[in-house]
């Protein structure tokens, strides 16, 4: 038994199903600790190095045809260390920091029991697809780390496609994989720019924005169809959508019945 009018739900991964931001903070703290305890950095230097790396990650523009993601990210650490401490570039220290950060972050990427249960129950009613942007190696490592494959009918990584979210093409590819139409699908994610804009661009039935703080920006754009504070709120939202659709359906039926009666009365008067 499915939901009325919804045949598939597309989920974003990072900060939607798994708390990548929290895992990243744990990983950064591990690097700060090792820089202080093993590499004679004071607290200020350690924090500065990590802040610089995070800035570089936010601005990162990766072309896998030119450089692998591992080399690029080791270079982020190498540059941040040199910019902070001066002297010669230290590739070995940069690599040590990168792999510690990466390993720790993956260790703390978890799909909670509540989320697993939610996906299991939801999949009994609709088809589920994971749609995540990013470098294919990085995202596949995250997917494996949180062991989310069994909960989805298909997984699509942006870095493996010609275009990523918010391009309509990747959403339409997802629809093709599941054998559904865009107007049968709901997109759930934390990013207005990629998840919500992409869902709107592709003509999906609805977009659901995960806004954990539930504090609204002054100008929210693009405008999602629905806003929830946690992905765990999704089943109730979908059921509510279902009830509204059924109510509209009943209203339409009543209008149709009334139209029939009105037409019959008009015909009687004409006779």
State the number of CA atoms in the 13 A half-sphere of 143 facing the CB.
Answer: 23
Q: Which residues contact 202 (CB under 8 A, 6 or more apart)?
A: 168, 171, 172, 175, 182, 187
* Residue, of 52 and 266, whose pLDDT is higher: 52
What pLDDT score does 243 carry? Answer: 62
What pLDDT score does 252 carry? Answer: 40
Q: Quote the CA–CA distance of 45 and 68 in Å, as a whole number.
A: 28
* Residue, of 1 and 86, whose pLDDT is higher: 86
* Residue, of 216 and 163, whose pLDDT is higher: 163
Q: Quote the CA–CA distance of 185 and 207 in Å, as a whole number.
A: 9
CATH of domain 20-107: 1.20.120.710
Checking if the pLDDT of 153 tops 70, the result is: yes
* Closest C-alpha to 170, from 140, 201, 149, 148: 201
Domain 8-19+110-245: CATH superfamily, name plus number: HAD superfamily/HAD-like (3.40.50.1000)
Q: Quote the CA–CA distance of 195 and 200 in Å, as a whole number.
A: 9
Where are the CATH 1.20.120.710 domain residues in the chain?
A: 20-107
CB 199 within 8 A of CB 81: no
Instruction: Report CA-CA distances (Å) from 91 to 68, 79, 170.
Output: 16, 9, 37
Q: What's the alpha-carbon Rg for the chain, to the nearest Å?
A: 24
Checking if the pLDDT of 25 tops 60, the result is: yes
Given pLDDT bands bounded at 50, 70 and 90, which one contains residue 114? very high
Q: Which residues contact 256 (CB under 8 A, 6 or more apart)?
A: none
- Which H or E element spans position 11? strand 8-11
Checking if the pLDDT of 151 tops 80, the result is: yes
Checking if the pLDDT of 247 tops 60, the result is: no
Where are the CATH 3.40.50.1000 domain residues in the chain?
A: 8-19+110-245
Checking if the pLDDT of 248 tops 70, the result is: no
What pLDDT score does 242 carry? Answer: 65
State the number of CA atoms in the 13 A half-sphere of 123 facing the CB.
Answer: 17
Mean pLDDT of the chain: 90
């Amino acid at each position: 038994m499915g939901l009325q009018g919804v045949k598939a739900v597309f989920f974003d991964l990072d900060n939607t199903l798994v708390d990548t931001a929290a895992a990243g903070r744990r990983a950064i703290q591990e690097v700060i600790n090792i820089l202080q305890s093993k590499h004679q950095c004071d607290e200020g230097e350690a924090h500065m190095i990590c802040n610089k790396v995070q800035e570089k990650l936010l601005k990162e523009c990766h072309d896998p045809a030119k450089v692998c993601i591992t080399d690029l990210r080791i270079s982020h650490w190498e540059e941040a260390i040199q910019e902070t401490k001066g002297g010669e570039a230290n590739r070995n220290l940069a690599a040590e920091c990168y792999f510690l950060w990466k390993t720790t972050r993956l260790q703390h990427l978890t799909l909670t029991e509540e989320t697993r249960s939610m996906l299991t129950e939801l999949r009994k009613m609709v088809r589920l697809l994971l749609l995540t942007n990013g470098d294919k190696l990085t995202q596949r490592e995250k997917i494996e780390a949180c062991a989310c494959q069994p909960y989805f009918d298909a997984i699509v990584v942006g870095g493996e496609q010609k275009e990523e979210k918010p391009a309509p093409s990747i959403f339409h590819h997802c629809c093709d994989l599941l054998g559904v139409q865009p107007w049968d699908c709901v997109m759930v994610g934390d990013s207005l720019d990629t998840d919500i804009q992409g869902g709107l661009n592709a003509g999906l039935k609805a977009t659901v924005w995960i806004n954990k703080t539930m504090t609204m920006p002054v100008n929210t754009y693009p405008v999602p169809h629905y806003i929830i504070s946690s992905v765990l709120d999704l089943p109730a939202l979908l059921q509510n959508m279902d009830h509204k659709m059924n109510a509209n359906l009943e209203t339409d039926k009543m209008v149709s019945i009334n139209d029939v009666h009105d037409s019959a009365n008009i015909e009687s008067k004409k006779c």
